[in-house]
Amino acid sequence: MRIAMVSEHANPLAVVGRVDAGGQNVHVAALAAHLVRRGHRVTVFTRRDDPDLPTRVRTSAGYDVEHICAGPPTEIPKDDILQHVPALASALEQRWISEPFDVIHSHFWMSGLASVLAAPPGVPVVQTFHALGTVKLRHQGVRDTSPPQRLAAEARLCGQVDRVIATCSDEVAELTAMGMARDRIDVVPCGVDVDLFTPGLPGRGARRHLLTVGRLVERKGVADVIMALAELPDDVDLLVAGGPGPDALDADPEVERLRKVAADCGVTDRVRFLGAVARPAMPTLFGSADVVVAVPWYEPFGIVPLEAMACARPVVASAVGGMLDSVVPGVTGELVPPRQPAVLARTLGPLLADPALRRARGRAGRRRVSREYRWESIAARTERVYLSMTADLRMAVSS
């Protein structure tokens, strides 16, 4: 099968941890790679954000990445890309005339807008939103920087695409509330590389370590972890991975804000900012942690808990989004309400005090991701969605 993926702002070749580079980049790269392993030909189309990028790159995993000219060839915030969607659609339309594809899989809402405009007749389009504007607006309110057209565009997309792949049950509820028929939604979660993320031995030093990983933006809840740290024993430290490189941390406004929170809480010497950490180094970093904490205010899915569980680490996560599905309270870790540092501290206390409990939660997490979330399984489930869509179209044509 010839598969076109459209990921307008999330280039699978980008360095994860930048402001607009995170879980979607990882998802697109891993899904493309594992679909290639299943015998498919995959091309990922993404917006050119650097004039020196080659037009086409063949990755070591076997899929191609094409950089499409749409707007200035420089990095721009993803919320500013909407004005360039018509140019992206026009370029894709011409490209897909020269090389036909069997299915188009668009990632994020603006990719979906471009895909439905550019798709040739008879080629199905499947949409993965990765995040919904209704959820973002609900949690960020006036601080939501999304274009005002987003909500209407997403609702319209639900009626235009052939199928939507939701990444968790919470997203299904949001989509049906937007008016989408349940029988046009398939649930396929994000996955984890269980060969890269493997169990290791936690640090055996005198101090215990919490770890939080992700982009350094306010909604990720790092400040809540710092405030919780102040209520935990003095021999507990916090490692914060993500953001700019270590050399640029001092100039980052979010790091400055978080350091002030730490100073106000009296835990400056117990919080260490690591900056961006290369992906190959992440398993070792997870292995150094006693507990991994992921407490965003909201989260469409949440890949970090999966990676932590694959490394046999217990996870304390917000009871939001995909983490409601992936983290099993009392088995692989615990769920807590977001933005409640005191509750977080009370939940972390028993885990930090009991090494045997941490080991049991970690082993259970590894078993869970190996059974439910390995990328081989995710790619197979996605493939079944593609095949069902193409079969439906064949039946419609023959009738």
Q: Evaluate if residue 393 carries a pLDDT over 70.
A: no
Average pLDDT over residues 210-223: 94
Confidence of residue 394 (pLDDT cuts 50, 70, 90): low
At 225-277, the pLDDT tens digits run 999 999 999 999 999 999 998 899 999 999 999 999 999 999 999 999 999 99
Q: What is the pLDDT of residue 215?
A: 87
More confident residue, 108 or 394: 108
Q: What is the pLDDT of residue 204?
A: 61
Q: At 3, list the tokens.
A: 């598969």
More confident residue, 126 or 399: 126
Q: What is the pLDDT of residue 203?
A: 59
At 190-215, the pLDDT tens digits run 999 999 999 986 656 679 999 999 98
- Please tell me if the domain spanning 2-191+375-398 has the same topology as the one spanning 208-372: yes
Q: Evaluate if residue 19 carries a pLDDT over 90.
A: no
Q: Evaluate if residue 397 carries a pLDDT over 90.
A: no
Q: What is the pLDDT of residue 70?
A: 96
Domain 208-372 has CATH 3.40.50.2000: yes
Confidence of residue 122 (pLDDT cuts 50, 70, 90): very high
Average pLDDT, the chain: 93
Listed residue (198, 191, 195) closest to 374, CA to CA: 191
At 76-99, the pLDDT tens digits run 998 899 999 999 999 999 999 999
Q: Give, in order, the Cα–Cα distances in Å from 338 to each of 236, 319, 322.
A: 21, 7, 14
The fourth-level CATH superfamily of domain 2-191+375-398 is Glycogen Phosphorylase B; (3.40.50.2000)
Q: What is the pLDDT of residue 141?
A: 87
pTM for this one? Answer: 0.88
Q: Evaluate if residue 17 carries a pLDDT over 60.
A: no
**Domain map of the chain by residue range?**
2-191+375-398, 208-372
Please give the angle made by the CA atoms of 263, 267 and 272, to the nearest 5 degrees: 95
Q: What is the pLDDT of residue 391?
A: 75
Q: Give the H/E segment covering residue 146.
A: none
Q: Give, in order, the Cα–Cα distances in Å from 49 to each of 3, 77, 86.
A: 23, 11, 16
Q: What is the pLDDT of residue 20?
A: 47
Q: Contact 127/157 with Cβ under 8 angstroms?
A: yes
Q: What is the pLDDT of residue 392?
A: 66
Q: Contact 301/321 with Cβ under 8 angstroms?
A: yes
Spell out the residues 6+ positions from residue 299 whose beta carbon is closer than 8 angstroms to its own: 318, 320, 321, 322, 323
At 43-70, the pLDDT tens digits run 999 999 999 999 999 999 999 999 999 9
How far is Cα 331 from Cα 328, in angstroms, rounded to an integer? Answer: 5
Q: Contact 178/158 with Cβ under 8 angstroms?
A: yes
pLDDT above 70 covers what percent of the chain? 95
At 308-326, the pLDDT tens digits run 999 999 999 999 999 999 9
Confidence of residue 159 (pLDDT cuts 50, 70, 90): very high
Q: Contact 327/335 with Cβ under 8 angstroms?
A: yes
